[in-house]
Amino acid sequence: MVKLNENYQNVKDSYLFAEIARRVKVYEETHPEKAADIIRLGIGDVTLPLTKSVIEALHEAVDSQAVSETFKGYGPEQGYAFAQEAIADYYARNGVEVKATDIFISDGAKSDTGNITELFAKDNVVLVPDPVYPVYVDTNTMDGKNIIYMNGTKENDFLPMPDENVKADIIYLCSPNNPTGACYNKEQLEAWVAYALKNDAVILYDSAYEAFITDPTLPRSIYAIEGAKKCAIEFCSLSKTAGFTGTRFSYTVVPEELVFETSNGGTLSLHNMWNRRQCTKFNGTPYIIQYAGAKVFTEEGMKECQENIGYYRENARMIAETLEKKGISFTGGVNSPYIWFECPKGMESWEFFDYLLENAQVVGTPGAGFGENGKNYFRLTSFGKHEKTKEAMERFNSLF
Ligand code: MLT
Instruction: Kindly state the average pLDDT of the residues 199-223.
Output: 98
**Residues in binding site for pyridoxal 5'-phosphate:** 74, 109-110, 133, 178, 209, 237-239, 248, 283
Whether the CB of 43 sits within 6 Å of ligand 1: yes
What pairs with residue 379 in β-bridges? 340, 365
CA distance to 60, 98, 252, 253, 260, per residue, from 268 (Å): 41, 21, 18, 17, 6
Give the chain's length. 400
How many other CB atoms are there within 10 angstroms of residue 2's CB atom?
3
Q: Is 44 in the pocket of ligand 1 (CB under 6 A)?
A: yes
Looking at the chain, which residues constitute the CATH 3.90.1150.10 domain(s)? Answer: 14-49+301-399
pLDDT in tens, 250-280: 999 999 999 999 999 999 999 999 999 999 9
Contact 171, 202 (CB under 8 A): yes
The alpha carbon of 275 and the centre of ligand 1 are apart by a number of angstroms equal to: 26
Place 133 in a pLDDT band, splitting at 50, 70 and 90. Answer: very high
DSSP 175-212: SS-TTT-----HHHHHHHHHHHHHTT-EEEEE-TTGGG
pLDDT of 121 reads: 97
CA of 140 to the centre of ligand 1 (A): 18
- Residue 380 burial (CB count, 10 A): 32
- Please give the distance, rounded to the nearest whole angstrom, from the Cα atom of residue 305 to the centre of ligand 1: 18
Long-range residue pairs from 161-165, CB within 8 A, at least 24 positions apart, any chain: 161/188, 161/191, 161/192, 162/191, 162/192, 162/194, 162/195, 164/195
Select from 400, 298, 367 the least CA-distant residue to 130. Answer: 367
Percent of the chain with pLDDT over 70: 100
**Single-letter amino acid, residue 229:** K
CA of 44 to the centre of ligand 1 (A): 5
- Gap from CA of 136 to ligand 1 centroid (Å): 12
In this prediction, residue 14 carries a pLDDT of 87
Which ligand 1 atom is at minimum distance from the Cα of 365?
A: 2
Each residue of 224-258: pLDDT tens digit? 999 999 999 999 999 999 999 999 999 999 999 99
Output the CA 369–ligand 1 centroid distance in Å: 12
- At the fourth CATH level, which superfamily is domain 14-49+301-399? Aspartate Aminotransferase, domain 1 (3.90.1150.10)
> Average pLDDT of the chain?
97
- b/e sequence 120-134, b meaning 16+ C-beta within 10 Å: beeebbbbbbbbbbb
Within the chain, all domains assigned CATH 3.40.640.10 are found at 52-297
Query: Does the CB atom of residue 178 touch ligand 1 within 6 A?
Result: yes
Interhelix angle 386-399/349-360, rounded to 10 degrees, is 100
pLDDT at residue 281, rounded to an integer: 98
pLDDT of 99 higher than 90: yes
**Whole-number Cα distances in Å, 81 to 22, 74, 154, 217, 241:** 41, 14, 44, 31, 21
Q: What is the pLDDT of residue 120?
A: 98
Q: Whose CA is nearest to atom 1 of ligand 1?
A: 44
Verdict on whether the full-model pTM lies above 0.95: yes
H helical segments located in the chain: 16-30, 52-64, 81-93, 109-115, 134-143, 186-198, 238-241, 270-281, 287-296, 299-325, 349-360, 386-399
pLDDT at 13 over 90: no
Please name the residues in contact with 113: beta carbons below 8 A apart, sequence gap of 6 or more: 133, 135, 136, 139, 172, 204, 206, 235
Kindly state the DSSP code that residue 165 receives in the 8-state scheme. T
Q: Which residues contact 284 (CB under 8 A, 6 or more apart)?
A: 74, 75, 76, 77, 78, 79, 105, 290
Tally Cβ neighbours within 10 Å of residue 283.
Answer: 12
Best residue among 15, 46, 111, 133 to mutate for probing ligand 1's pocket (most ligand atoms within 8 Å of CB) is 133
ipTM: 0.94
Contacts of residue 339, defined as CB under 8 A and 6 or more positions apart, other chains included, come to 181, 316, 319, 320, 323, 330, 331, 332, 333, 379, 380, 381, 382
Residue type, 30: T
Rg (CA), the chain: 21
Residue nearest to atom 4 of ligand 1 (CA): 44
Question: What burial letters (b/e) apply to 340-353, b meaning 16+ CB within 10 Å?
Answer: bbbbbeebebbbbb
**Residue 1 CA to its chain's centroid (Å):** 39
What are the binding residues for substrate? 15, 44, 110, 133, 178, 283, 379
* Feature table: binding site: 15, 44, 74, 109-110, 133, 178, 209, 237-239, 248, 283, 379
Separation of CA 208 and ligand 1 centre (Å): 10
In ligand 1, which atom is closest to the CA atom of 178? Answer: 3
Report helix, strand or coil for 126.
Answer: strand
Cα gap 21→17, rounded to integer Å: 6
Task: Check: CB of residue 188 under 8 Å from CB of residue 173.
Answer: no
110 lines ligand 1 (CB under 6 A): yes
Q: Would you identify the CATH topology of the domain 52-297?
A: Aspartate Aminotransferase; domain 2 (3.40.640)
* Average pLDDT, integer, range 373-379: 98
Check whether 394 has a pLDDT greater than 90: yes
CB neighbours of residue 86 within 10 Å: 22
42 Cβ closer than 6 Å to some ligand 1 atom: no
Q: For 62-68, what is the mean pLDDT? A: 98
Distance from Cα 314 to the centre of ligand 1, integer Å: 20
